[in-house]
Structure 1
Amino acid sequence: MQRVCLALPTMRSCPGTIVDLAEEAAFAVENFGVEVHLLILDTTDTYDAAGFAKNVDAVASLAPAPGVFVHHLGNAQQEEFFRRVAEQSGGADPGLLLDMMLPPAVAYGSCVNRIFLGAAALGCTSAHLRNDDADFQVLDGRKVFPIHHELLSIGKPAGEAEAGVTRSELDPADADKPVLLVSGSFMGELNVDIGEIRELDPAVYHDVVRLWTPPVWPDEDRDAMVEVSFRGTGTEPFTADESVLGPPDIWNVFMCNVALDHRAYEVLPLLPSVKTLGCDYALLHALVHARMPAVVHNRHIVNYYTPERRTGAGFVPYQMGFVKLLLSMLYLYPVYGGMIDLGRDLLDERHGLKSEPILELIRGSVDWDRAGNEHCLDVLDRSYRKLGGKYTELADAVAGQRQQLLDEAQEDAARWAVLVEAWPAMVAAARAGGLRPGPDGAAG
């Protein structure tokens, strides 16, 4: 029986999301005959004991469903598991590996990497990622679950997956290649909370967002990228299924509405940057730029903002995460550009993703000239001070951490190279050790 991992990383109280995902898991079992492991990696107990208790209660209240197995891991259980994986992987510095997997602060790439190793430990062949700040669309009173399209295609040879899509753009030469990626997008608010900047001053918004576009592109292409960045698929609600098989566009895939085959995520981990928005897309870039066939569908999730990112205490830390995203691109774009140049050479003879050329690209980016990031911080300082108000406070925070931010962006790239090199052994250790039952019966 096909075993899949439906996964939710969270650091906040989200009992409603847990209930929704349990319903999606039951839907998958009922309609596809699979075994679903609902994996909730929950670090809420680090920040909010009461919020964590609500999540525990939500899991406890779930009605048993045949074929659905729920694993709710708090911070302590995760630390035990990932410490064991790091130590048994044989890496030279297991403490560093553990720190990259479970750092003391939010890290979007790291939390997804934990899902990947958790899925390996559970013996799953695919991971289906969701988020705690998104809702499912509803049609005729029923939730529109993305896992419908995901299980129709994930892992199958592309030629077989053609039967499950509404339109195929598949090159017949790619019929034997496996579908390693199935994704929808999102609707609702921008997936990065910077819309207020656009409302205050569209010109400043343009200047700031342009900082994350590839500097080697022509001006008109960079401006066009500004217009589509962070916007998702618009506002048109779901009415009927549409899905396309073929080489996807990177703008049509979204990391919180995605299924990935184990032959992808067991090869390439994500950038383990701390407090950095949008650092979890490298694997999608690798699959897209290798021109692997994928399925893109319209069961888009509805993105919304959690309130803490706009509060006095939460505003500057959240926006600093966006600043760190901009700085990370200095090291990511050489990697992505190299992936584009390599194209199908990113694949081995069995159409599997190869980590070696990607690792070489990452290592080559580490010593990239920092002048681009110096310029980025200069533009941000001028832009935020022009906006005034709380953005002046943000500008002061960025200026006060300028050298640290520059150093951390470079260090993140170097640490990513270490993790990519160690990843095969970590996957093997996770698979060999499995997830052990915790004291409350949950896996750990």
Structure 2
Amino acid sequence: MNRICLTLPTNRACSATIAAIHREAVHAATRFGADVQLLILDSCDARTRAEHAGVVAALPRTDGVTVHHLGEEPQRAFLRRVVERSGLPEPDRLLRLLLPAGVSYGSCTDRAFLLAAALGCDSVHRRDSDSAYQLRSGEPVFPVHHELPWLGRPAADATAAGLRTDLDPADAHRPVSLAGASFIGELSVDIGEIRRRDEGVYHEVVGLWAPAGCSPEDRRRLVEESFTGAGTAPFTEDRSTLTLVDPMRVDMCNIAFHREVYERVPLPPATDTIGSDYFLIHLVHDARLPGILHNRHIENFHTPERRTDSGFTAYQTRYVKFLLSMLHLHHVYDRMAAEGDRLLDAGHHVRTGRIAELLRESTGLDRAENEWRLDRLDTAYRKLGGRHEEFAERLTGQRARLLDEAPRDMADFALLTEGWPALVDAARHTAPGPGER
């Protein structure tokens, strides 16, 4: 029986999402015979976590579905045991990277990866708390329908079964390593207010995540495609393709990885940085590992907290840190694309050490490009006025710190990557702890 980890990391109230993802778990168990470990990683305050615990307790028991609801203290206890068992140096630093004080989109998923290893899972399927399933004829449209059949199997098996493909035949012997789709609804990055107020400023602000030497035409295309997902058209019928999945066509709220990917390389542990959890999508593509691109898109929405002044400031800071991270990530992505399947060993496994080398290499880049980004962002936000101008003023005082943090975040990622195989091996021999239902 295929054991999978269907995971929901959350730091916000999401009782409806917990109930909905449990229905997807039941679908995976009853339709595909999967052994589903439903993992809810709960970083909410005590009151919200208690509400979630009540929802979990009321979930109907289903053969083939085991629910794990873990707050941060049980997570920390598990991680401490894993780090100690690994015998790696700097254990306190590793623990802080895996469970930092701030919001980290990469770290919360890294914890899911380690817990999936502890639970003996073959794949991880991630959903988000600020999203919902589409409906067709009143029934939810579950992405796991496309994620389960082929992950980990040679791509040629899927082709032989009739799955549409645009894969190069030379890649057909490699395992299907990813299955994913995108989202419909609101922008994945909460900057729609800028677009409504000033298209020119929106183009400037979004275009800043492109490489500095990007042509105007390429930058324009990037802006048009960025953060829009699959648009707004609702699901009507299934479409799926075996391919090298374009990172711009999938989203981390709607993704599944085989363990041979996430047990080799983690996600960046940077705090307060949107997009820090997309690294493996690029790695799978650049290493020429096959994937399945389907159209069971998740419906994205924004929570009210982002509209408050404190929520606005926090989210804009995360966007700025995303822009600054791209100096380093573009460098690594370019190197990975150039190396292609040389990133894999003879068994089609990602060469962890080579990825760590590329990450280390990126930490020494000249920060002039990031200084340019901050200059352009300051001008754009001041043009908008209001709280955007106030944020620009706040950013001025944080400029030096943010410029220093970008390479330091990559150094942390390199350290975590170097130790990742030992951490995964330790996790396989570590009990997850309390929280199972």
- TM normalised by structure 1 equals 0.97
Q: Closer, same or farther in 2 for the Cα pair 1:251/1:263, shift >3 Å?
A: same
Within 5 A, what are the aligned runs for 1:28-43? 28-43=28-43
Deviations 1:267-314 (A, max 9, x none): 111111111111111111010111211100000000000111111221
CA contact (8 A) 1:122 1:435 kept: yes
Q: Distance in 2 between matches of 1:132 and 1:246?
A: 28
SS of the equivalent of 1:161 reads helix
Residue 434 of structure 1, CA deviation: 2.8
| Aligned mate of 2:172, from 164, 172, 175 | 175
Question: What amino acid maps onto 1:172 in structure 2?
Answer: P
Q: 2:202 aligned with 1:205, yes or no?
A: yes
Task: Look up the match of 2:371.
Answer: 374
Q: Distance in 2 between matches of 1:164 and 1:81?
A: 41
Q: Distance in 2 between matches of 1:98 and 1:168?
A: 42
* Structure 2: gaps of 5 or more residues: none
Task: Look up the match of 2:116.
Answer: 119
Deviations 1:377-403 (A, max 9, x none): 111111111100011111112111111
Q: 2:314 aligned with 1:317, yes or no?
A: yes
Task: Look up the match of 1:337.
Answer: 334
Within 5 A, what are the aligned runs for 1:44-83? 44=44, 48-83=45-80
Deviations 1:210-230 (A, max 9, x none): 110122332211221111111
Task: Look up the match of 1:270.
Answer: 267
Residue 164 of structure 1, CA deviation: 5.8
Task: Look up the match of 1:14.
Answer: 14
CA contact (8 A) 1:188 1:234 kept: yes
Task: Look up the match of 1:294.
Answer: 291
Q: 2:424 aligned with 1:442, yes or no?
A: no
Which of 255-264 and 216-225 deviates more?
216-225
CA RMSD after TM alignment = 1.1
Q: 2:235 aligned with 1:241, yes or no?
A: no
**Paired residues, number:** 437
Q: 2:123 aligned with 1:148, yes or no?
A: no
Deviations 1:346-405 (A, max 9, x none): 111111211122111111100110101111111111111110001111111211111111
Deviations 1:44-100 (A, max 9, x none): 0xxx32211111111011010001000000011011001111111111111000000
SS of the equivalent of 1:381 reads helix
Q: Distance in 2 between matches of 1:280 and 1:141?
A: 32
SS of the equivalent of 1:12 reads coil
Q: Give percent identity, aligned residues only.
A: 51
Q: 2:246 aligned with 1:252, yes or no?
A: no
Q: Distance in 1 between matches of 2:244 and 2:278?
A: 17
Q: Distance in 1 between matches of 2:301 and 2:395?
A: 26
Task: Look up the match of 1:393.
Answer: 390
Question: What amino acid maps onto 1:161 in structure 2?
Answer: A
| Aligned mate of 2:404, from 404, 407, 415 | 407
Task: Look up the match of 1:232.
Answer: 229
SS of the equivalent of 1:37 reads strand
Deviations 1:164-192 (A, max 9, x none): 66521122222221001000111100100
Q: Distance in 2 between matches of 1:408 and 1:165?
A: 48
Task: Look up the match of 1:279.
Answer: 276
CA contact (8 A) 1:153 1:164 kept: no
| Aligned mate of 2:100, from 80, 99, 103 | 103
Q: Distance in 2 between matches of 1:166 and 1:361?
A: 35
Q: Distance in 2 between matches of 1:390 and 1:259?
A: 38
CA contact (8 A) 2:171 2:288 kept: no
Q: Distance in 1 between matches of 2:43 and 2:95?
A: 15
Which of 217-226 and 135-144 deviates more?
217-226
Question: What amino acid maps onto 1:77 in structure 2?
Answer: P
Which of 218-227 and 28-37 deviates more?
218-227
Q: 2:85 aligned with 1:91, yes or no?
A: no
Which of 312-321 and 139-148 deviates more?
312-321
Q: Closer, same or farther in 2 for the Cα pair 1:165/1:153, shift >3 Å?
A: farther
* Structure 1: gaps of 5 or more residues: none
CA contact (8 A) 2:229 2:250 kept: no
Q: Distance in 2 between matches of 1:330 and 1:164?
A: 42
CA contact (8 A) 2:356 2:414 kept: yes
Q: Distance in 1 between matches of 2:427 and 2:321?
A: 30
Question: What amino acid maps onto 1:171 in structure 2?
Answer: D
SS of the equivalent of 1:378 reads helix
